[in-house]
Amino acid sequence: MRNTRIGRIAIALAAATVLASCADDEPAADTSLTEGSQRTDVPATTSPSIGSSRTEPTGASAGAETITLVAYESFPESDTPVNEALAAFTDKTGIEVELLLAGDTGAMVSKAALTAGNPEGDVMWGVDNTFLSRAVDEGVFEPYTADGLDAVDPELLTLVPGGEATPVDYGDVCVNYDIGWFEDAGLEPPETLEDLTDERYADLLVVENPATSSPGMAFLLATIARFGDGGWEEYWRALRDNGVEIVDGWNQAYYERFTWAGGPKPLVVSYGSSPPAEVIFADPPLDEAPTGVVTDTCFRQIEYAGVLAGTDHPGEARRLVDFLLSAEFQETLALNVFVYPANADVELPPEFVEFAAVPDNPAEVDPDDVAANRSEWIDTWTEVTLR
């Protein structure tokens, strides 16, 4: 391992995400699993109540409710400005917030679908546009039109015209590469999706399983957008024959398999916002990002939060969703979850702007096509790559 491990990224975006969970996962984050070893039991971590040390809230009476925020595994669990903002929410409202980290995005949504109407929490953070239709169709969310939507780009609201969920961030899921590894190898990094099937890059790429990981699903959709019906299956056969490694989630792909974090693979599906995270959390400090982004491979990821249907605390849950969209909370996202805030009134930190990669034309797939074909695409992908 040549340098530091970065802080939590989520997404990716995407995404950056985008978008971060990635979610799966998972913009921004810590450590997780490997592909091909199908996830069978997703651990969930409950954090202590965010505002548990505060006894005299200013915005509500003492003894107010405790609610649970369900999030993907790479959501900051403690000791970051994100958690401080949640504690400030408790100070103002008296509503205690506990965190329940529920695996990568795909696993989180699957579990939420099984418990729809009788949820494990009250609000969910991090369902992205590749899994949103499943969550909505399964009745995971209670529709709610959040305060503050006037500050959100209308394009982020396209999939939720009836308040089905609330967009909270976005980013781009892209292939990242270890700059130093390629320099040492005397090999130019890939520039396109097609390059990844070239024998020069044999056995160098690790990707996430689209059945369990939102960045994995985003990357699959990027290939579907590029190669179309029939073509994407052939592309994945070529990736398989070129030695692609498949793992369950972003944490495992990035922190266990990527060479920059000490693993064996110099190419990984991550986020366009992963490079600034590497700079910001580097110890010793870095002037340049040690990782790069193959912008031709990117897919735009939007993440949502929503009130879980069947919550025992709907009023408190709605207040939390409002807060998650507020500038006070949104301004913590770029340098802690490494996604772009959905609230357009929030100014981005200069170091995030300097080092994040923004693709000119990220891949897109019609949301109706995703909703109609997701299960079939995943089944076909599994047949092609894992069986």
217-234 pLDDT, tens per residue? Answer: 999 999 999 999 999 999
Name the least confident of 25-29, 111-115, 211-215: 25-29
Enclosing domain of residue 255: 1-387
Q: Which residues pair with 381 in a beta bridge?
A: none
Q: Identify the CATH number of the domain in which residue 351 sits.
A: 3.40.190.10
Taking CB atoms within 8 Å and a gap of at least 24, the contacts of 152-160 are: 152/325, 152/342, 152/343, 152/344, 153/342, 153/344, 156/302, 156/342, 158/367, 159/129, 159/132, 159/133, 159/302, 159/367, 160/132, 160/304
Predicted confidence (pLDDT) per residue in 147-169, tens digit:
999 999 999 999 999 999 999 99
Q: Are 245 and 257 in contact (CB under 8 A)?
A: yes
Q: Describe the crossing of helices 231-241 and 214-227 by its angle, rounded to 10 degrees.
A: 120
Q: Tell me how many domains the chain contains.
A: 1
User: Per the structure block, which two tokens stand in for 53?
Assistant: 């040390």
pLDDT reported for residue 54: 36
Q: Output the average pLDDT for the chain.
A: 87
Predicted TM-score (pTM) of this structure: 0.78
Q: Report the percentage of the chain scoring pLDDT > 70.
A: 83
Q: How confident is the model at residue 80 (pLDDT cuts 50, 70, 90)?
A: very high
pLDDT reported for residue 63: 54
Q: How confident is the model at residue 104 (pLDDT cuts 50, 70, 90)?
A: confident
Q: Report the percentage of the chain scoring pLDDT > 90.
A: 78
pLDDT reported for residue 56: 41
Predicted confidence (pLDDT) per residue in 363-373, tens digit:
999 888 998 99
pLDDT reported for residue 24: 42
Predicted confidence (pLDDT) per residue in 120-144, tens digit:
999 999 999 989 999 999 999 999 9
